[in-house]
Structure 1
Amino acid sequence: MFEGMVAGARRVGIPAPAGLAATGQRLRERRAPHDPLRIEAQWDGQRVTAPAILDFDSRTPDTRQLAGCTVGEALARLPVLCAAAPRAQTIVAMAAFVAAGAEGAARGEARDEERTVAAETAQEHLSRLMLDWPVLFGHEPRRERFAVLHHGLAQIGGGRAAYELGGDLLDLVAVELLGGFFRATREPTALREFVERARQGGTIGEALADLIEIGTSTSEHEGVPLLPSLSAQAWGETLGGLPSPQFCRTPSLHGQAHETGVLARHAGSMLVRILLTKGHRIAARLFARVIDLADCASRLRHPLADDMPALLDAAPLGDRAGLAWVETAGGLVLHAVRLDDERIAEYSIIGPTQWNFHPEGPFMTEGSGWSAASIEAARLRFAALVLSLDPGRDFEIVLKPVEG
């Protein structure tokens, strides 16, 4: 069934399984200090048309301010420059500096790096799953439960505490979030059965069922291709050096826009595949986020397990240059640096938002051309699309009726 969740559930003794209101509503990313991403589309009475990101260039971190910095100065500035996943961004930056041969740069223990990234990713997933998705569909958010788990992840260390917190997260997934799927003896064979199982799983299951009942989003063959997993060395060979500022704004692989994130990581999981083949790509992303949360829990308990893909990789990128990537809640984050006399000559960052909100990416591909019964229904569907692609910061949606 969904492999990572099965393995994690067995580790804590759970039986293995046999799921808007006013214009301009803001769904908040609770830590990001940046201004919200402003998104606009038009409603012609039947369909949503012409989606656009009004502050498109604000999606890309301005790394020019890092030029001339030492490694220490750059590491101090990065958490502000990269508001999403600041711990992972610091770790991947250090990995890029080490790959570039920066004097005095040193990475932490690999197990500690993985636990830190997994804990931060789990925090982001919990924020979406326990707060944002339920609220979007009018369900009560799990604020107290979220606060306890979020605090524990913020204080995460190693050893027994990480192991036990990972078990708490696996229990949350198997009992509270997707209990209807774990209690069943076989996989659902029809979409109606999928919805019924989802509604047995608490608020996120209810939201998943509501999302499916909105209707299909895009067929499996109409979606933007999913970003494959490449080694840092392979990325270096593909890029041929540090990526240009233009490439950082609108990245591509083999000349084509791709989608990164939880769907790219878990598209092969059986229940995610069911949703994709039935045209429910937005719901597939939500389900994949729950699976990814279970993977984070397993990494807290057993970091660097042989059956889990790497979260972080780094490689030299020519003379005095290095590249590293890390997988975050939103998707792949890539850092590349070139040094000159122990100071930064060039620095590049490509984040998930640049991929998923690319002019030819999944947001633009799926953001228009579908019909809805009312402007309220269209707004809900549009907000669900944006939330499923997770821009990593606050966002505002304005849906304007076409005049005349």
Structure 2
Amino acid sequence: MTAISAGKLQVDLYHDGHKISAVNPALLRPSGQVGALLRGRDPDQAVELLGMLFSICSVAHRVAATRALEAARGCIANAEIEQVRNSQVAIERLRESLMRLLLDWRYPSIDDDAAAQCIRLCKTLSQALETDPAEAALVVVELGNWWRGLRCQPTEQDIWIANHCERWRGIELGGSGKVLEPGMPGAGQPSLETGPVAAALGCRDAARVIAEVLQTLVSQVDDALALLEGETAEALAGLAQCSGDGLATGWALTARGWLMHGIELDGDRVERWQILAPTDRNFHTEGALVRRLNNVVIDRDSAEALTRELTLAIDPCVAFEVRMNDA
């Protein structure tokens, strides 16, 4: 079984000579294809398949799917199992956040060698968590020392953020939307906002929004490490629920925001399987990108550059293209 193509995002931007008059994101994602593939299968087999189908956030997909399946069956995992799950997802979230800092934003102290070291440590830790808790504890210490040795001093980090944001100072974006929380009423609505961009809730200055995203990315590394070191604990309430319409949901927190799997069983077979990833929400036709960019007053050339920068900040888990059009 090979991984399904992650998909592609195409953003059509329309400019009337004064402002962005329309934003049309077209997101090609395999979620429906996956749902069709899993329907009628043994649910445990379906969970195993998910880890092979998704190359990005595969751990989070497995964990969210497992939680949804347990909710559908009326089972509750014990605290020890959930702690291991949260740790595995935190490792993946830490790694993905660091890769974004390196590849998209050129965090000053991270180079290719540092990225390779991060990948090695995360892989070693993930394996040790399942087999050797003592070794896992040692790797957590090594990972923490590695990150603290690389992390920029506040002044250097402020300069790095300012270099990315200064161009957009004074540009007013559209408002933010409602922020997603697992288990909230209407959590299945695809337009709810999640991920680092949600940290800029209520802020409309473009420079400030991007600055908040960059700061949140760094904080995600700190927070994931704190969880692995046992200094903090992730709340478990609401991460697995069964709704009145027969759809059981499971959640996992990725570097891009909350991932949801929804499962409906028919006896011992999958009747329905729904996946809502952060990319599906934030790049929905009523999602964060559209809300932020619609009717922004900006010149044509800068509009295209801002759209690329904001798309990177919100972060699709797929390749993207921005196409400029005259209104």
1:122 to 94, 115, 118: 94
CA contact (8 A) 2:91 2:224 kept: yes
1:297 to 219, 225, 228: 225
CA contact (8 A) 1:225 1:258 kept: yes
TM-aligned CA distance change 1:370 to 1:315, over 3 Å: closer
What is the rounded CA distance, in whole Å, between the counterparts of 1:32 and 1:78 in structure 2? 10
What is the rounded CA distance, in whole Å, between the counterparts of 1:329 and 1:61 in structure 2? 23
Tell me the CA shift for residue 328 of structure 1: 0.8
Q: Which residue of 2 aligns with 1:87?
A: 59
When the two structures are superposed, what TM-score results if normalisation uses the length of structure 1? 0.67
CA contact (8 A) 1:132 1:141 kept: no
Q: Which residue of 1 aligns with 2:104?
A: 132
CA contact (8 A) 2:172 2:296 kept: no
Tell me the CA shift for residue 142 of structure 1: 2.1
What is the rounded CA distance, in whole Å, between the counterparts of 1:126 and 1:102 in structure 2? 37
Whether 1:286 and 2:257 are equivalent positions in the alignment is no
Matched AA of 2:82: A
Q: Give deviations 1:177-200, integer Å, cap 9, x for gaps.
A: xx1x2xxxxxxxxxxxxxxx4xx2
CA contact (8 A) 2:25 2:285 kept: no
Q: Which runs of 5 or more residues in structure 1 are unaligned?
A: 1-30, 182-196
Q: Which residue of 2 aligns with 1:12?
A: none
Q: What is the alpha-carbon root mean square deviation over aligned residues?
A: 3.4
CA contact (8 A) 2:161 2:214 kept: no
What is the rounded CA distance, in whole Å, between the counterparts of 1:311 and 1:211 in structure 2? 37
Q: Which residue of 2 aligns with 1:210?
A: 164
CA contact (8 A) 1:100 1:322 kept: yes
CA contact (8 A) 2:41 2:269 kept: yes
Tell me the CA shift for residue 310 of structure 1: 4.6
1:146 to 90, 94, 115: 115
Which SS does the other structure have where 1:380 is aligned? helix
What is the rounded CA distance, in whole Å, between the counterparts of 2:162 and 2:87 in structure 1? 28
Tell me the CA shift for residue 339 of structure 1: 1.5
Tell me the CA shift for residue 278 of structure 1: 5.4
CA contact (8 A) 1:32 1:394 kept: no
Count how many residue pairs are aligned between Structure 1 and Structure 2: 313
2:283 to 325, 348, 357: 357
Tell which deviates more after alignment, 88-97 or 277-286. 277-286
What is the rounded CA distance, in whole Å, between the counterparts of 1:169 and 1:383 in structure 2? 29
When the two structures are superposed, what TM-score results if normalisation uses the length of structure 2? 0.81
Matched AA of 2:211: A
Tell me the CA shift for residue 149 of structure 1: 0.9
TM-aligned CA distance change 1:134 to 1:317, over 3 Å: same
What is the rounded CA distance, in whole Å, between the counterparts of 2:38 and 2:79 in structure 1? 20
Which SS does the other structure have where 2:117 is aligned? helix
CA contact (8 A) 2:262 2:274 kept: yes
What is the rounded CA distance, in whole Å, between the counterparts of 2:101 and 2:4 in structure 1? 18
What is the rounded CA distance, in whole Å, between the counterparts of 2:63 and 2:160 in structure 1? 36
Matched AA of 1:261: G
CA contact (8 A) 1:260 1:332 kept: yes
CA contact (8 A) 1:117 1:328 kept: yes
CA contact (8 A) 1:134 1:207 kept: no
Tell me the CA shift for residue 208 of structure 1: 4.4
Which SS does the other structure have where 1:134 is aligned? coil
Tell which deviates more after alignment, 309-318 or 64-73. 309-318
Q: Which residue of 1 aligns with 2:178?
A: 225
CA contact (8 A) 1:225 1:259 kept: yes
CA contact (8 A) 2:171 2:297 kept: no
Whether 1:276 and 2:276 are equivalent positions in the alignment is no
What is the rounded CA distance, in whole Å, between the counterparts of 2:13 and 2:74 in structure 1? 46
Q: Which runs of 5 or more residues in structure 2 are unaligned?
A: 129-135
Q: Which residue of 2 aligns with 1:163?
A: 141
TM-aligned CA distance change 1:108 to 1:216, over 3 Å: farther
Tell me the CA shift for residue 363 of structure 1: 0.5
TM-aligned CA distance change 1:277 to 1:360, over 3 Å: closer
CA contact (8 A) 2:196 2:213 kept: yes
Tell me the CA shift for residue 83 of structure 1: 4.1
Whether 1:344 and 2:270 are equivalent positions in the alignment is yes
Q: Report sequence identity in percent.
A: 22
2:304 to 374, 379, 384: 379
Matched AA of 2:150: L
Q: Which residue of 2 aligns with 1:261?
A: 195
TM-aligned CA distance change 1:357 to 1:368, over 3 Å: same
